[in-house]
Amino acid sequence: MARPLRYGFILAGVALCAALAAAGGWRYARASSPVNGPIILVSIDSLRADHLQPYGSAVSHTPAIDALASDGIVFERAFAHSPETLPSHAAMLSGRLPSDTGVRDDVGFAVKDSEHLLARLLHDRGYATAGIVSTFALRKESGIAQGFTLFDDKMDPASDDVAVGGIARDGAASERIAEQWLESTNTSRCFLFLQLNEPATPLAPQERLADGSAYDEEIARADDALGRLVKYLKRHQLYDRSTIVLTSDHGEGLGAHGEQGHGLFVYAESLRVPLIIKQSAGEGAGRRVRDLVSHVDIVPTLLDLAKAPDAGGLRGQSLKPLLDGGHAGARTAYAESFYARYHFGWHELLSATDGRYHYIRAPREELYDLDNDPAEAHNLVDGPAGAKSLDPLRAAVDRMKPGPAPAAAVVPAEDRIRFDAIGDVGRVLGDPPVEAVDPKNGVDTLAAYRDAVQLGMLRQWPAAIDTLQRLVRANPDLADVWRAIAALAFDAERYDQAVEASRHVMTLLPDDPAPHLAAAESLARLRRFDDARQQAELAITLAAEKDAASVAAAHEWLARIALAKREPATAREQAALAQAADAKLPLPLYVEGRVLYDLGRFADAIEPFEQAVAQEKAAHGRQLLDLHYYYADALAHADRADEAEAQLQMELSAFPRNNRAWAALATLQHNDGRDDAAAETTAHLMRVSPTADGLNTAARLWTSFGDRTRAAEARAEAARLAAVPAQTTH
């Protein structure tokens, strides 16, 4: 009896173990099953955490974010790794620090193809992927687009309210595209990255209210877009199944430590960001987590939730234990800003925080107690209170800081215009001087510079130029300020002043072709064609093989100069060279059309213009100045007025300050008997181009329409502007 009984116990034990293993395996399978709905990452640009009710704001103006916080888990101490848009998003989508990705600034950097971004990793796991962005800083060329089945970076064109087109897109428009994509995917196994730009919209100096209300209004617009996305998900029974992550790329100074915007400093107002995670089954709804987390944790967290393997080399950790109610233990978050270095030649800033103490490495070190001094007003470096925390944070920066900072790439002229418009001009700098300026000592210079940029966007060009001239009188070595003066003077039609400012840039940056191109354009407007030709040729010599975009632009100006001088053979030669440098540029066809047009052969010019427009559209290249204007005029001569009007609208969409295109459009509308439309077009011209030439053009139109009163008003304002002397700075 003993042996069978023993065997029976053994068999019963095996069966029990098998049952327990099966139960454990079932429980593990339940716990570790991947998310079964959409994964959505929403990034709201320049959103300070403390302006949201879930993060302590006394006023709620974000009902959608508040509701998401109630349905999700709020991470109270989340930090970005950069106060700039591109480096921050590169970290957010790669799980790696800026020193790992090599993306150190918005200007002159791009994510390398060798990086394995979140979209690529999820795409490899069978996810449909879409990236929809609302800022020029995250355009496809930034490298952020890799791994997305759909990447939409189309920006709003210039308008009465936007002086430079292609800078940003309204968040509501981006959200609508997101809905359309979700509708078309036919699968809930998808990843959506939606970036909204509203709080980053630059505020003019007079709009910076002490209570931050203008900024909060912009946040409310972004919240409205998020609310519409949530409503869509709920209508389609996707919300409960969705994993939604809401964050921001960085905060905003709003005057703290002297910085209105962002990019220069690495204080908490620029680095502390909201992070809310709503899980697909609603686990942990309403819970708050005080553990220190950062942007590099997003990728490993979402990969963990999706049960997708990572590519290795991640700096962050999965937040799944925190989502499940656990704790992360002691951690340190690293951040950096190279903005001062790349833009002004000042010292970079590096920082580390353990959640309680925040250390900033600068020529004058700083240490703050975030719990007792959240405004970071009392530097503890020289006091006994911070001595215990200083060395570990210094060591953390030493572990994570980069080696020598790489040089920024050359920025094409058309990109530089857009970076200028958002206050992010760039320079190519080597190591800063041994006694580099502490950015804390340069904040007033930066503030004045950014104010001038915003005044320029509001078309208050004389005021903007005066602001910048005060800066270069105090510090004549600021090349980017001289560059901005040149650009603003050009917009104000002060071409002599623009040439003078460009010559200062040439002296300070002798290897840069950009100031020579700028001078060539201004000299051509002054009809000093020989001088303009010389500057364009110098730009070609400097650009050589390293900057094809500048080479193409220089040859384009040489072709335009040749057309102005009625030298068709030279124009054709230069057009061919421009197209050799940029295959997307339909300049040879444009030149053929212009040669025929200038001979009065308008009917013959239509075909090459038409082919040039078709090539431009097919190549998705940059639009050629005056192409659609001359094509429209040739069509008008052939009594094809409707087609001509469409071409003029295209010209003005890309070049809103083309005064003769406005005049041609108003004239077409007037000749067609649409006097109200003609009057509105002329009023648009005056708003978009409030210069002597623009106003005189409007005066001529009002006269032709029989409106003597408006004509006299426009002429008087033009005379007033022409009488204001352009100040020079030596």
Domain count, the chain: 4
> What is the DSSP pairing of strand 190-196 with strand 128-132?
parallel
Determine the residue type at 93. L
Give tens-digit pLDDT for 485-498: 998 999 899 999 99
CA torsion sign for 209, 248, 167, 546 is positive
What strands, in cross-sheet order, belong to the sheet with 333-337? Answer: 333-337, 349-353, 357-361, 366-369
Q: Which of 121, 75, 129 has its CA nearest to residue 96?
A: 121
Q: What are 8-61's pLDDT values in tens digits?
A: 444 444 444 444 444 443 333 334 467 889 999 999 999 999 999 999 998 888
Q: Are residues 223 and 113 in the same domain?
A: yes
Name the percent of the chain lying above pLDDT 70: 88
Per the CB < 8 A criterion, the answer to whether 639 and 633 are in contact is no
Determine the pLDDT at residue 424.
66
Instruction: Specify the pLDDT at position 160.
Output: 60
pLDDT of residue 474: 86
In a domain, 19, yes or no: no
pTM, to two decimals: 0.80
Q: d(Cα 190, Cα 90) in Å, to the nearest integer?
A: 20
DSSP label at 135? Answer: B
H or E segment to which residue 278 belongs: strand 275-278
334 domain-assigned: no
Residue 684 near residue 707, CB atoms below 8 Å: no
CA distance 479 to 80: 30
Nearest to 477 by CA among 509, 500, 455, 453: 509
- Please check whether residues 628 and 661 belong to one and the same domain: no
Instruction: For residues 246 and 46, give the distance between their C-alpha atoms in angstroms, rounded to a whole number.
Output: 13
Write the single-letter amino acid at 210: A
Nearest to 46 by CA among 258, 157, 197: 197
Terminal CA-to-CA distance of the chain, rounded, Å?
113
Helices (H), 386-460: 387-400, 413-421, 439-457
Nearest of 558, 593, 595 to residue 577 by alpha carbon: 558
* Statement to judge: residues 572 and 632 lie in one domain: yes
| Structural domain ending residue among the three candidates 651, 680, 707 | 651
Mean of pLDDT values over 72-100: 96
Could you tell me if 578 and 475 lie in one domain? yes
Model confidence at 708, in pLDDT bands (50, 70, 90)? Answer: very high
pLDDT digits (tens, 9 = 90+) for 571-603: 999 999 999 999 999 999 999 999 999 999 999
Torsion region of 151: left, alpha or beta (phi above 0 gives left; psi -120 to 50 gives alpha): beta
Higher confidence at residue 721 or residue 376? 376
Give me the residues paired with residue 275 across strands. Answer: 247
Residue 614 placed within a domain: yes
- Region 143-171: mean pLDDT is 81
| Residue 471 or 271, more confident | 271
What is the tens place of the pLDDT at every residue in 189-223?
A: 999 999 999 886 555 555 554 555 788 999 999 99
Residue numbers of the domain that contains 584: 413-429+437-651
Check residue 377 and give its pLDDT: 96
Domain of residue 555, CATH code? 1.25.40.10
* 275 shares a domain with 170: yes
Domain co-membership, 470 together with 497: yes
As given in the structure block, the two tokens for residue 423 are 């206050």
Three-state SS at 290:
strand
Residue with tokens 């979140």: 118
Q: Are residues 580 and 718 in the same domain?
A: no
Based on the number of CB atoms within 10 Å of its own CB, is 327 exposed (0-12), middle (13-18) or buried (19 or more)?
exposed
Angle at 468 between CA 362 and CA 45, to 5 degrees: 60
Where residue 303 sits, what CATH number does that domain have?
Answer: 3.40.720.10
Lookup: tokens for 280: 């697909």
**The last residue of a domain, from among 651, 679, 709:** 651
Identify the domain boundary among 621, 651, 681.
651
Average pLDDT over residues 67-96: 97
**CB of 336 closer than 8 Å to CB of 266:** yes
Amino acid sitting at position 125: R
Mean pLDDT of the chain: 88
Domain match, 590 and 703 both: no
Which single residue is written with the structure tokens 């292609």? 166
Sorted by sequence, the CB contacts under 8 Å of residue 434 that are 6+ apart come out as none
